[in-house]
């Protein structure tokens, strides 16, 4: 009978500790992203908010400067007989070559990057294979990242960088999340440090590259860490298992190791902290009891 | 410390000025490290944001964190040097019953003490350092070295990635974070509660700051040490 | 014929020719235009249309802007030819302008609700956003709270067909009817949700949305000790419980006032007057703060019990403190949901599946259950010498124990039948494992759930009714005694 009581009290103690510590660690490990959902709900829409447009970088342009004469020749706007009527994405309908007139270097850099390669691949496929994909799984055109109607000019490096991160996050959420857990993300986005790296500082703004290749990665790191040597490129910035087709076995094993160590340390933390919190709690109760009896 | 004086009001000196100062500096350094460190980890939260703004941005936050780290580690180094002095010059015992070195008796004391919590056994007769004080010390000693080493990895990743593969920097980050969580959770709560907020000693236990304690307290809290002191010949006068 | 007649005839022919010519030219012109089929002619009131005539975002906050938005959309959508093809079936997308103009949303622009549809590709991902204007917790608050996973349109639209969207875990209007044929959901009339038979749209046998087969009442005010409840009684069984409770209180008071009050022995009227004088006099005096201290230390923290025994204090606190916490949380939730019904705090507190509420409720529940089990083991098996168990003690333990047990069972059944996904469910760290256990049984939980709910509710009602009669009376007696005697130590 006595043993049962002991065992019951031990079980009660253990359960309570586990619960308290679970709550503590969960609270501690829950961080929120500071990036508000800047889902451009006005994008690709049929209506343009003229107030925002007037305040944008293109605010002094007229519609025809970029869109040309929509009622020319035999075609008229909108054309309900066209096969793309009401179905195509807005940023597949517009001819972005028009951007080249003012934004020549960016346009040519884009053409040499991974995004343009993906777009070329998509355009070669018969239509229907890629059409059904959601917006954030298709290759990006200029309009996927840049708001032609509302983009502001003369943003500071940090403002621009934060916008960049939320734009990239729309299609690369796992990479954005791991970036924000990393020092670069915290310093750059959360703390607004202009010396820290944003997505485009490593991966390129228009000529986007994936940095799977360690040579390319090391060159990117050396832009800010000039003394970096070969091993430095093995530091894992995006320890994520999403997009496994992009991960090689080496990175996969490193990510797995990091994950195992994280889980083990979390368990150790819960056990140690839990035990001592419980220990102190029961000790306090006993001492209160003794004190109350003394004053009786 | 083995130095002791008997004064008229029966106060006994338990901690030397060096020990008291080291504790104070470590206390301040540890707190500074915790605040600056967690302001980076939780920089998405408003309070971390606010603190970083207060000190002037991410760069200053990093500088302060490393400054406090240097100060705290300097205390570790001074302490180690003192240990050498204590052992070699003062011929003190660093593994004896009155030392802070963990012994089998401490495990027995812990179980007896927990028995007292459940009203089954009496309070054990503690020597100079109780088992929880030894744990506090050891945790800090090991913790500071772990944090220091992993911190150095994070401070000089270019150098350390030439010695070890790059993903060790990631591992260092994980260890640094969880060790910090354990250390802060234990020091800011358990240590404060057991030393100051326990009903027996509430509100403040001044001994670590003044170095002095009374005979009654010694009898109550560290009877083994008192016995040892009284029965001992004056070696270090 | 005369000259005049010939003149008139010529006049007539000229007119005819002119008319024919203009008709012909119009038909040629429209015919040519039909080859590319624009939505609207490029001329408006004689002037070339400007881009911004259509593409300027209308200010839907104004009536003019709302009407502009409506006419833009209705240009296509009021035609019979406005259809979409779904699996080779033609589905009408026609909207009757009269429905809108005679309905409640006459002055609301289409894009105020259908926020994400005026774009290419022309399809909405999120549907109409009612919550932009309508806080969910107004007069319908008590009905809305248990239906947080149901989209507004599923009840308030006249379309009768509902389905469970697995991706978002929401009940929504189905895009197919009960025969599987695709339907357009363009009927903008609003359903009369006050109809008695309205709820059977979902709460019927064989429903696919995980709704219980019976319509259950709102939680009674008697349930407020643990749950965010409404101020209604909920059903006859709760009335009976309340009457029995009131009877018990009256009997107790009658018994108390049989004694003497401050020397007065006979006159009940004087006794009551003296007692209430004493009561007010003590509260509104400088004894108020010692009274507060007694409430905190003795009533809430139970220091006198801690003085007696740590173990008993611990078991009692395991049961008492979570109940107290849930009661305070329920009261707080009630006030927040009435005063700040649009706030996100109200939503966090009301959402049973939300992280905070699910976790706290399950934590409190399991702590109470553990306390009951330990107390039962104490009384039945260990039987220390100072404990004398009467049947009344055991009834109290049994009632609470069964109440919590049925509560967890009902929670598990609810999570199972509403097909809550694991990433939301795991916050209910007791309820979700229970639902996994229940899933191994081949039972139709939507049929069983009403019985579980009523079982829990009836046990709760019995608990309330039993309060003044059994040992549980101590939750009123003990604080009262402590407060009356706080000066004596």
Instruction: Give me the DSSP letters along C158-227.
Output: S---EEEETTTTEEEE-SB-TTS-B------PBP-TT-GGGGGGTSSTT-SS---SSPPPPPPGGGGGTS
Give the chains touching C; criterion: ≥3 Cβ pairs < 8 Å.
A, B
* Residue C121 contacts A, CB cutoff 8 Å: yes
Average pLDDT, chain A: 83
For residue A148, the distance in angstroms to the closest alpha carbon of chain B comes to: 30
Is the pLDDT reported for residue C364 higher than 90?
yes
Residue C51, CA distances (Å) to A62, A77, C36 in order: 10, 10, 19
pLDDT in tens, B190-200: 999 999 998 88
Contact check, Cβ <8 Å, C56/A47: yes
CA Rg value for chain C: 35
Q: Taking residues C3-8, report their average pLDDT.
A: 79
Is the pLDDT reported for residue A72 higher than 80?
no
Give CA–CA dist C363/C369, Å, rounded.
10
Give CA–CA dist C199/C208, Å, rounded.
14
Residue C6, CA distances (Å) to C10, C11, C16 in order: 6, 8, 15
Q: Where are the domains of chain C?
A: 57-133, 143-215, 221-484
Q: B219 falls in which pLDDT band (50, 70, 90)?
A: confident
Contacting B residues, span 107-136, partner chain C, CB-CB under 8 Å: 118-119
Give the chains touching B; criterion: ≥3 Cβ pairs < 8 Å.
A, C
pLDDT in tens, B40-94: 999 999 999 899 999 998 999 999 999 999 999 999 999 999 999 999 998 888 8
Residue B224, CA distances (Å) to A243, C5, C438 in order: 63, 143, 59
Do residues C195 and C173 lie in contact, with contact meaning Cβ atoms separated by under 8 Å?
A: no
Q: What is the pLDDT of residue B129?
A: 92
Is the pLDDT reported for residue A16 higher than 50?
yes
pLDDT in tens, C310-350: 999 999 999 999 999 999 999 999 998 888 887 888 889 98
Q: Where are the domains of chain A?
A: 87-151, 155-240, 248-296
Q: Which two tokens stand for residue C175?
A: 């895009």
Average pLDDT, chain C: 86
Residues of B in contact with C310 (CB under 8 A): 118-119
In eight-state DSSP terms, residue C351 is: -
Q: What is the pLDDT of residue B182?
A: 96
Question: For testing the chain A interface, which of C119, C127, C297, C428 should be mutated: the one with the most A CBs within 10 Å?
Answer: C119
C129 burial type by CB count under 10 A (0-12 exposed, 13-18 middle, 19+ buried)? middle
Q: C146 falls in which pLDDT band (50, 70, 90)?
A: confident
Average pLDDT, chain B: 89
Is the pLDDT reported for residue A65 higher than 50?
yes
Q: What is the largest CA-CA distance in chain C?
A: 139
pLDDT in tens, C173-198: 999 988 889 998 899 999 888 887 88
Q: Taking residues C392-421, report their average pLDDT.
A: 93
Q: Which two tokens stand for residue C451?
A: 């019985």
Contact check, Cβ <8 Å, A233/B166: yes
Q: C398 falls in which pLDDT band (50, 70, 90)?
A: very high
Task: Give the range among A170-179, C17-26, C54-63 with minimum mean pLDDT.
Answer: C17-26
Phi and psi torsions of C85, nearest 5°? -105, 120
Q: Taking residues C381-387, report their average pLDDT.
A: 80
- For C360, residues 6+ apart whose C-beta sits below 8 A from its C-beta are C325, C326, C329
Q: What is the pLDDT of residue C46?
A: 62
Q: C32 falls in which pLDDT band (50, 70, 90)?
A: very low
CA count, 13 A, side-chain hemisphere, B65: 23
The DSSP element (H or E) to which A252 belongs, if any, is helix A249-294
* Residue C295 contacts A, CB cutoff 8 Å: no
- % of chain C surpassing 90 pLDDT: 40
Is the pLDDT reported for residue C35 higher than 50?
no
pLDDT in tens, A210-252: 888 889 999 999 999 999 999 999 999 999 877 655 667 888 8
Query: What is the CB neighbour count within 10 angstroms for residue B160?
Result: 20
pLDDT in tens, C48-94: 677 888 888 889 899 999 999 998 899 889 989 898 888 888 999 99
Give CA–CA dist C454/C441, Å, rounded.
21
- ipTM, 2 decimals? 0.88
For residue A278, the distance in angstroms to the closest alpha carbon of chain B comes to: 10
- Of C348, C487, C341, C322, nearest to C400 (Cα)? C322
Give CA–CA dist C189/B147, Å, rounded.
66
Q: What is the pLDDT of residue A18?
A: 58
Give CA–CA dist C76/C37, Å, rounded.
13
Q: What is the pLDDT of residue A17?
A: 67
Express the helix, strand and coil content of chain B in percent, nearest 5 each: 70, 5, 30
Q: Which two tokens stand for residue A224?
A: 């800010």
Higher pLDDT, A272 or C390: A272
Closest partner residue to A232 among B161, B178, B181, by Cβ? B161
Q: What is the pLDDT of residue A21?
A: 53
Give CA–CA dist C473/C471, Å, rounded.
5
Q: What is the pLDDT of residue A19?
A: 60
Q: What is the pLDDT of residue A81?
A: 77
Residues of C in contact with B119 (CB under 8 A): 310-311
Is the pLDDT reported for residue B237 higher than 70?
no
B108-114, Cβ contacts within 8 angstroms, sequence gap of 24 or more? B113/A283, B114/A279, B114/A282
Q: Taking residues C348-377, report their average pLDDT.
A: 94
Q: C30 falls in which pLDDT band (50, 70, 90)?
A: very low
CA count, 13 A, side-chain hemisphere, B1: 17
Query: What is the CB neighbour count within 10 angstroms for residue B79?
Result: 16
* Residue C310 contacts B, CB cutoff 8 Å: yes
- % of chain C surpassing 70 pLDDT: 92
Q: What is the pLDDT of residue C23?
A: 54
DSSP A49-79: -HHHHHTSTTTT--HHHHH--SS-TT--SSB
Sign of the torsion formed by the C-alpha atoms of C187, C193, C197 and C200: positive
Is the pLDDT reported for residue C31 higher than 60?
no
Higher pLDDT, B110 or C390: B110
Contact check, Cβ <8 Å, A269/B48: no
3-state secondary structure of B12: strand
pLDDT in tens, C426-483: 999 999 999 999 999 989 999 999 999 999 999 999 999 999 998 888 888 888 888 8
Q: What is the pLDDT of residue B66?
A: 96
Is the pLDDT reported for residue C284 higher than 50?
yes
pLDDT in tens, B101-147: 999 999 999 999 999 999 889 999 999 999 999 999 999 999 999 99
Contact check, Cβ <8 Å, B185/A24: yes
Identify the residue whose tokens are 């109607």.
A149
Residues of A in contact with C58 (CB under 8 A): 47
């Amino acid at each position: 009978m006595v043993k049962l009581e002991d065992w019951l009290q031990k079980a009660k103690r253990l359960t309570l500790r586990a619960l308290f510590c679970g709550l503590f660690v969960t609270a501690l490990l829950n961080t929120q992203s500071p990036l508000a959902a800047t889902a451009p709900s006005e994008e690709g829409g049929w209506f343009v908010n003229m107030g925002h447009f007037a305040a944008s970088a293109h605010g002094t342009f007229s519609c025809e400067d970029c869109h040309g004469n929509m009622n020319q020749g035999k075609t008229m706007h909108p054309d309900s007989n066209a096969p793309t009527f009401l179905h195509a994405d807005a940023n597949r309908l517009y001819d972005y070559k028009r951007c080249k007139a003012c934004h020549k270097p960016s346009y040519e850099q884009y053409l040499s990057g991974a995004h343009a390669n993906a777009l070329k691949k998509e355009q070669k496929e018969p239509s229907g294979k890629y059409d059904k994909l959601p917006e954030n799984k298709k290759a990006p055109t200029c309009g996927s990242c840049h708001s032609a109607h509302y983009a502001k000019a003369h943003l500071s490096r940090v403002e621009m960088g934060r916008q960049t991160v939320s734009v990239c996050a729309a299609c690369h959420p796992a990479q954005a999340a791991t970036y924000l857990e990393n020092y670069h993300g915290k310093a750059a986005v959360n703390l607004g440090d202009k010396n820290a790296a944003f997505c485009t500082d490593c991966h390129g703004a228009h000529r986007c590259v994936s940095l799977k290749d360690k040579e390319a990665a090391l060159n990117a790191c050396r832009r800010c860490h000039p003394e970096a040597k070969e091993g430095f490129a093995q530091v894992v910035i995006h320890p994520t298992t999403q997009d496994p087709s992009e991960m090689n076995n080496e990175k996969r094993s490193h990510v797995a190791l990091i994950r195992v160590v994280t889980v083990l340390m979390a368990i150790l933390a819960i056990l140690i902290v839990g035990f001592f919190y419980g220990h102190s709690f029961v000790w306090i109760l006993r001492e209160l009891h003794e004190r109350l009896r003394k004053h009786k | 410390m083995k130095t002791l004086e008997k004064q008229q009001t029966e106060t006994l000196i338990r901690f030397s000025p060096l020990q008291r100062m080291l504790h104070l500096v470590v206390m301040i350094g540890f707190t500074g490290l915790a605040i600056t460190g967690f302001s980076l980890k939780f920089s998405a939260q408003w309070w971390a944001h606010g603190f970083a703004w207060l000190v002037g941005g991410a760069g200053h936050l990093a500088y302060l964190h490393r400054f406090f780290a240097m100060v705290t580690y300097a205390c570790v180094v001074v302490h180690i040097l003192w240990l050498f002095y204590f052992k070699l010059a003062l011929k003190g015992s660093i593994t004896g019953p009155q030392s802070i070195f963990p012994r089998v008796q401490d495990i027995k004391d812990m179980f007896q003490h927990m028995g007292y919590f459940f009203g089954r056994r009496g309070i054990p007769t503690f020597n100079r350092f109780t088992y929880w004080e030894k744990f506090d010390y050891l945790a800090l000693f090991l913790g500071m070295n772990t944090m220091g080493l992993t911190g150095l990895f994070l401070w000089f990743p270019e150098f350390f990635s030439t010695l070890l593969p790059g993903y060790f920097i990631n591992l260092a980050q994980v260890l640094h974070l969880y060790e910090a969580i354990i250390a802060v959770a234990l020091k800011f709560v358990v240590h404060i509660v057991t030393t100051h907020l326990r009903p027996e000693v509430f509100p403040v236990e001044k001994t670590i700051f003044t170095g002095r304690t009374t005979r009654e307290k010694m009898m109550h809290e560290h009877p083994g040490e008192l016995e040892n002191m009284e029965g001992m010949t004056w070696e270090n006068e | 014929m005369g000259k005049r007649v010939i003149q008139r005839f010529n006049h007539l022919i000229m007119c005819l020719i002119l008319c024919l010519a203009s008709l012909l030219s119009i038909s040629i012109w429209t015919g040519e235009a039909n080859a590319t089929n624009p939505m609207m002619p490029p001329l408006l009131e004689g002037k070339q249309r400007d881009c911004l005539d259509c593409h300027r975002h209308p200010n839907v906050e104004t009536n003019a802007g709302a009407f502009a938005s409506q006419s833009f959309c209705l240009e296509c959508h009021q035609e019979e030819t406005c259809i979409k093809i779904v699996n080779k079936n033609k589905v009408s997308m026609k909207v009757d302008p009269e429905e809108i103009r005679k309905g409640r949303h006459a002055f609301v622009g289409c894009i105020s609700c259908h926020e994400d549809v005026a774009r290419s590709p022309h399809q909405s991902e999120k549907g109409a956003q009612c919550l932009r204007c309508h806080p969910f917790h107004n007069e319908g608050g008590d009905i809305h709270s248990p239906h947080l996973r149901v989209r507004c349109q599923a009840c308030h639209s006249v379309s009768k067909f509902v389905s469970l969207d697995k991706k978002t875990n929401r009940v929504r209007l189905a895009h197919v009817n009960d025969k599987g044929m695709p339907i357009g959901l363009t009927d903008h009339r609003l359903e009369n949700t006050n109809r008695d038979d309205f709820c059977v749209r979902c709460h019927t046998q064989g429903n696919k949305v995980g709704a219980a087969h019976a319509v259950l009442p709102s939680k009674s005010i008697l349930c407020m000790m643990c749950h965010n409840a409404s101020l209604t009684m909920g059903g006859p069984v709760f009335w009976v419980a309340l009457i029995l409770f009131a009877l018990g209180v009256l009997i107790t008071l009658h018994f108390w006032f049989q004694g003497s009050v401050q020397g007065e022995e006979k006159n009940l009227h004087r006794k009551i007057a003296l007692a209430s004088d004493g009561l007010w006099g003590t509260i509104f005096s400088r004894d108020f703060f010692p009274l507060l201290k007694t409430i905190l230390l003795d009533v809430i923290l139970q220091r006198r019990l801690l003085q007696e025994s740590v173990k008993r204090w611990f078991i009692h606190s395991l049961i008492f403190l979570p109940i107290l916490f849930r009661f305070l949380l329920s009261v707080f939730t009630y006030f927040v949901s009435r005063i700040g019904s649009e706030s996100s705090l109200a939503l966090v507190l009301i959402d049973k599946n939300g992280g905070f509420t699910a976790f706290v409720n399950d934590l409190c529940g399991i702590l109470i259950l553990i306390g009951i089990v330990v107390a039962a083991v104490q009384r039945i098996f260990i039987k220390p010498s100072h404990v004398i168990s009467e049947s009344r003690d055991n009834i109290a333990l049994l009632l609470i124990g069964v109440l919590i047990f049925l509560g967890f069972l009902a929670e598990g059944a609810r999570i199972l039948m509403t097909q809550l996904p694991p990433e939301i469910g795991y916050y209910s760290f007791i309820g979700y494992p229970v639902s996994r256990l229940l899933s191994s049984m081949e039972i139709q939980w939507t049929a069983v759930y009403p019985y579980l709910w009523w079982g829990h509710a009836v046990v709760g009602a019995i608990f309330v009714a039993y309060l003044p009669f059994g040992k549980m009376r101590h939750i009123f007696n003990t604080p009262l005694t402590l407060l009356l005697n706080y000066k004596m130590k």
